[in-house]
Amino acid sequence: MITGRINSFEFAQIIGSGLPNIPWEESPAGCHDVLWRFKRNPIIPRNLPPISSSIFNSAVVPSRGEFAGAFRCDEN
């Protein structure tokens, strides 16, 4: 990874192969943010397992040609 600073802005550039099958959603109209919330969030309910009080999606990673989610689950 290459990191640096231009004026007062930090940047990072990832050097590597692209992920052409990564899910993508265009930013909402009028949104100028770098990141935005997926319009179909949450992708799983907060109490899917009976012992769960909340679930947080932490990451999505490529796995065997698909994508796998990493989640944190808090118990009741």
pLDDT value at residue 7: 62
Number of domains the chain is built from: 1
Q: Which among 41, 45, 64, 61 has a CA at the least distance from the CA of 53?
A: 45
- The pTM of the full predicted model, rounded to 2 decimals, is 0.46
Say if 39 falls within a structural domain.
yes
Say if 5 falls within a structural domain.
no
**Full DSSP string of 14-35:** --S---TT----PPPTT---SS
Say if 61 falls within a structural domain.
yes
What is the mean pLDDT for each group of 10 consecutive residues in the chain (76 residues)?
60 74 84 84 80 82 84 84
Residue 55: domain span? 23-75
pLDDT value at residue 56: 84
pLDDT value at residue 60: 81
Say if 71 falls within a structural domain.
yes
Say if 13 falls within a structural domain.
no
